[in-house]
């Protein structure tokens, strides 16, 4: 009875040990699955992992994740574009003049605006000149209105704005038609029902004030070198002085700029095209009023360049980032694998000596045997004699059999 109890207990103990070994084996395989440099021995399909290669794998994964996060953050926050700029002939026929506002400011500091017909008055015209000099200029008046634009935060004064949009197109005597708007300032002209102040008073006001012209800025609000948004003043200010006896004139040239922002396939998936008008240059000159009329005080004209500037901003794309990260992974993996794969292989064969001659143990033939390229082994004399003796015995047996058949 005691013997049977011992047998049952030993059997249970063996079963418990086998279950424990099975659990340990499962845990070991689970941990080894994180080792990226496991070596596959032949023919058993179980990876060979070591503590050293496991730590190396975790280190490599950490380095890769750190590089990936750094690359992603740099791609989002510091993706500077490559800018390609060139000029081409302007295709647009008419360009709308940006929003403008103007007035005569007087005082110290400029605390008053003057729009008094008894001193001078502002007018605005749309003028068309023709390449054919036999045709007369066409001049259309643009009505003005009192305004206080919200895009001029510092302006607390009532100034003048055009009541309708004005257009610019062509170039003087280079295109069939040249259209441009202009602001004309005229001194008060005695006559009719109009009463004007004295010339001395006009000279005093001209010496104590100036014309301020505000042009709304619609230039790009980002830095072309970095692609980042920048704060900019929403308008440009120009000041002009009245000089009685002289006729100052100014021409402001605008150039159309077209910006094409290429997609980076993370924040933008298509081309972003933006058009802006920028002030390219300003020409000014002064003539004596006797050449024209003594009523002329100032003239400001607006016109466009015949060319437009094209700017193409090309950013690094998400595919470029993926390629860089993928290349880094390949270099990193190869560097770690060159050491840990060899280390796991040598560790396995060092602990399993019988695997070094595994091919001989299972009788694997040489490559030459597989293709029947080995020479036949020559027969020895012993083998030849054995074959001869066996032949004679076979013949004797046949002879005895024939004699028995005759009988």
Query: What beta strand segments (E) does 217-317 contain?
Result: 235-240, 246-261, 272-288, 296-304, 307-314
Q: Would you say 277 and 90 are in contact if contact means Cβ atoms under 8 Å apart?
A: no
Q: Which residue has the tokens 């399993």?
A: 352
- Tell me the whole-structure pTM to 2 decimals: 0.60
Higher pLDDT, 15 or 71: 71
| pLDDT the model gives residue 125 | 94
| pLDDT the model gives residue 163 | 92
| pLDDT the model gives residue 174 | 82
Query: In the listed set 318, 346, 377, which residue is the last one of a domain according to the structure?
Result: 318
Q: How far apart are CA 83 and CA 124, in angstroms?
A: 39
> Does 102 lie in the same domain as 57?
no
Tell me whether residue 295 is in a domain. yes
Looking at 124-138, 315-329, 392-406, which range is the least confident one?
A: 392-406
Cis link prior to 109 (omega < 30° from 0)? yes
User: 74-110, pLDDT tens digit by residue?
Assistant: 877 777 777 788 788 776 678 889 999 998 988 777 6
| pLDDT the model gives residue 238 | 92
Query: In the listed set 318, 345, 376, which residue is the last one of a domain according to the structure?
Result: 318
Q: Is the pLDDT of residue 407 over 60?
A: no
Q: What angle do CA 216, 219, 222 make, to 5 degrees?
A: 135
> Does 266 lie in the same domain as 182?
yes
User: 279-320, pLDDT tens digit by residue?
Assistant: 888 998 888 765 667 788 899 999 988 888 888 887 777 787
Q: Is the pLDDT of residue 321 over 70?
A: yes
Tell me whether residue 23 is in a domain. yes
| pLDDT the model gives residue 323 | 83
CA-to-CA separations, 38 to 33, 35, 270, in angstroms, rounded: 8, 6, 44
| pLDDT the model gives residue 367 | 39
Tell me whether residue 115 is in a domain. yes
Higher pLDDT, 10 or 310: 310
For 106-115, what is the mean pLDDT?
Answer: 76
User: 60-73, pLDDT tens digit by residue?
Assistant: 888 888 888 888 88
For 157-175, what is the mean pLDDT?
Answer: 85
SS3 breakdown of the chain: % helix, strand, coil, rounded to 5?
A: 35, 30, 35
Higher pLDDT, 138 or 354: 138
User: 344-397, pLDDT tens digit by residue?
Assistant: 788 877 777 776 666 555 544 443 444 444 444 444 444 444 444 444 444 454
User: 151-160, pLDDT tens digit by residue?
Assistant: 886 556 778 9
Of the candidates 220, 314, 226, the residue with the CA atom closest to the CA atom of residue 265:
314
Of the candidates 252, 219, 255, 251, the residue with the CA atom closest to the CA atom of residue 88:
255
> Does 264 lie in the same domain as 129?
yes
Higher pLDDT, 115 or 210: 210
> Does 107 lie in the same domain as 21?
no
Q: Is the pLDDT of residue 171 over 70?
A: yes
> Does 204 lie in the same domain as 158?
yes
> Does 108 lie in the same domain as 12?
no
User: 180-234, pLDDT tens digit by residue?
Assistant: 999 999 888 776 677 888 888 888 888 888 899 999 887 766 666 555 666 777 7
Tell me whether residue 101 is in a domain. yes
Of the candidates 275, 314, 310, 315, the residue with the CA atom closest to the CA atom of residue 85:
310
Domain that holds residue 69: 50-79
User: 261-270, pLDDT tens digit by residue?
Assistant: 888 777 778 8
> Does 144 lie in the same domain as 55?
no
Query: In the listed set 286, 318, 350, which residue is the last one of a domain according to the structure?
Result: 318
> Does 131 lie in the same domain as 69?
no
Tell me whether residue 102 is in a domain. yes
Q: Would you say 241 and 210 are in contact if contact means Cβ atoms under 8 Å apart?
A: yes
Q: How far is CA 181 from the centre of its chain?
A: 40
Please report which residue ranges of 169-316 form alpha helices under DSSP H. Answer: 199-207
| pLDDT the model gives residue 185 | 92
Residues 6+ apart with CB under 8 A from 279: 215, 236, 252, 253, 254, 255
| pLDDT the model gives residue 9 | 67
> Does 9 lie in the same domain as 158?
no
| pLDDT the model gives residue 10 | 67
Q: Which residue has the tokens 């020479």?
A: 375
Q: How far apart are CA 183 and CA 166, in angstroms?
A: 11
Tell me whether residue 385 is in a domain. no
Of the candidates 272, 262, 307, 266, the residue with the CA atom closest to the CA atom of residue 92:
307
Count of domains forming the chain:
3
> Does 252 lie in the same domain as 109?
yes
Of the candidates 324, 334, 275, 292, the residue with the CA atom closest to the CA atom of residue 91:
275
CA-to-CA separations, 149 to 16, 238, 250, 252, 325, in angstroms, rounded: 90, 16, 24, 21, 51
| pLDDT the model gives residue 107 | 76
Q: How far apart are CA 181 and CA 235, in angstroms?
A: 19
Distance from first CA to last CA of the chain, Å, rounded?
A: 77
Tell me whether residue 306 is in a domain. yes
> Does 96 lie in the same domain as 65?
no
* 3-class secondary structure, 401: helix
| pLDDT the model gives residue 4 | 57
> Does 112 lie in the same domain as 239?
yes
Q: Is the pLDDT of residue 15 over 70?
A: no
Q: How far is CA 149 from the centre of its chain?
A: 36
């Amino acid at each position: 009875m005691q013997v049977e109890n011992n047998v049952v207990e030993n059997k249970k103990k063996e079963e418990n040990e086998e279950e424990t070994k099975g659990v340990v084996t499962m845990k070991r395989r689970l941990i080894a699955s994180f080792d990226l440099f496991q070596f596959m021995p032949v023919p058993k399909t179980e990876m060979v992992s070591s503590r050293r290669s496991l730590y190396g794998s975790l280190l490599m994964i950490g380095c890769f994740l750190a590089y990936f996060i750094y690359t992603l953050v740099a791609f989002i926050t510091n993706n500077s574009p490559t800018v390609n700029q060139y000029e081409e002939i302007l295709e647009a026929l008419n360009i709308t003049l940006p929003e403008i506002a103007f007035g005569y400011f007087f005082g110290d500091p400029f605390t008053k605006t003057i729009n008094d017909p008894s001193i001078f008055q502002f007018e605005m015209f749309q003028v068309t000149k023709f390449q054919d000099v036999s045709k007369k200029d066409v001049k259309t008046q643009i009505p003005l209105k009192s305004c206080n634009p919200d895009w001029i935060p510092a302006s607390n004064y009532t100034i003048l704005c055009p009541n309708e949009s004005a257009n610019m197109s062509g170039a003087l005597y280079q295109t069939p038609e040249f259209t441009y708007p202009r602001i004309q300032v005229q001194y008060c002209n005695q006559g009719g029902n109009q009463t004007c102040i004295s010339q001395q008073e006009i000279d005093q006001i001209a010496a104590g004030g100036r014309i301020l012209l505000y042009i709304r800025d619609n230039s790009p609000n980002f830095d072309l070198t970095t692609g980042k948004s920048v704060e900019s003043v929403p308008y440009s200010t120009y000041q002009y002085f009245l000089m009685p006896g002289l006729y100052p004139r100014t021409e402001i040239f605008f150039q159309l700029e077209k910006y094409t922002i290429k997609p980076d396939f993370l924040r933008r998936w298509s081309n972003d095209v933006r058009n802006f008008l920028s002030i390219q240059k300003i020409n000014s000159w002064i003539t004596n009023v006797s050449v024209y009329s003594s009523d002329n005080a100032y003239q400001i004209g607006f016109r466009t360049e015949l060319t437009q500037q094209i700017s193409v901003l090309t950013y690094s794309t998400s595919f470029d980032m993926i390629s860089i990260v993928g290349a880094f992974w390949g270099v990193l993996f190869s560097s770690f694998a060159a050491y840990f794969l060899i280390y796991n292989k040598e560790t396995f064969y060092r602990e399993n000596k019988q695997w070094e001659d595994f091919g001989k143990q299972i009788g694997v033939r040489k490559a030459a045997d597989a293709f029947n390229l080995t020479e036949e082994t020559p027969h020895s004399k012993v083998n030849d004699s054995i074959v001869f003796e066996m032949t004679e015995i076979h013949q004797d047996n046949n002879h005895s059999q024939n004699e028995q058949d005759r009988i």
